Amino acid sequence: MPSPKLAVLASGRGSNYKAIQEAILNDQLDAEIIILITDKEKAPAREIARSNGTEEMYIPYDRKDREVFEREAARIIKEKDVDLVILAGFMRLITPYFINEFEGRMLNIHPSLLPNFKGLDAQTQAFEAGVKEAGCTVHVVTEEMDAGPIISQRKVPVFENDTVEALSARILVEEHILYPEAISKYWDSVA
């Protein structure tokens, strides 16, 4: 079975992007990142991609017309014959147009044990709810936010005297293990 070609969308620090890139370099994930697309000109993820010689592209984002970004991103992704679209800290709402373009081929990582704590600041939501266990989820993207079919999850404990910062860092460590594993698992199930 051929390995999947990935397009990654990221907005920020890019630690999940980096984890995927490193998993590929270390032969833990059989895949190829074809392009990184970002909506933020200064996204650190761009430098991470460049440092590995991976194509990266900034497309300006207009909140008044979300589809401008999406149409351009979709055009490029299709041109490059990508298999999976990987949302790795892409901090924008995605319209039904883009979801339909890549139905069943777009994954997202969310820092909670879905279906709990959807949306923004999931780690804070979990912390404030007083749960004993938190974690992260990789799921297929569907029209309802953070609600598509779950591929995999990893759990972490929430300690007495914990802080949101410490909990978030603990979850992030697991995200970096989870995303490459989930990409591989999902590709095996659909390819």
| Binding region for ligand GRF (CB under 6 A) | 10, 12-16, 88-89, 109-111, 172, 175
Structure-token pair, residue 21: 């890139």
- Rounded to whole angstroms, what are the CA distances from 82 to 3, 73, 93, 142? 11, 12, 21, 19
b/e code 13-29 from CB counts within 10 Å (16+ = b): ebbbbbbbbebbeeeeb
Shortest Cβ distance from residue 109 to ligand GRF (Å)? 4
> Residue 91 CB, nearest distance to ligand GRF (Å)?
7
Identify which of residues 4 and 111 has a Cβ nearer to ligand GRF in the complex: 111
CB closer to ligand GRF out of 85 and 88? 88
- C-beta of 129: minimal distance to ligand GRF in Å? 18
Q: Which of 105, 110, 139, 154 is an active site residue?
A: 110
DSSP letter at 136 equals: E
The yes-or-no answer on residue 139 being catalytic is no
> Distance of CA 147 to CAs 38, 115, 119, 162, 186, Å?
23, 7, 10, 28, 16
Q: Is the Cβ of residue 74 or residue 88 nearer to ligand GRF in the bound state?
A: 88
What are the residue ranges of helices labelled H in 115-157?
122-129
The CB-of-45 to ligand GRF minimum distance in angstroms stands at 7
Nearest residue (beta carbon) to ligand GRF? 89
Report residue 85: phi and psi, to 5°.
-105, 125
**Quick one: 16 or 184, whose CB is closer to ligand GRF?**
16
**Which positions are catalytic?**
110
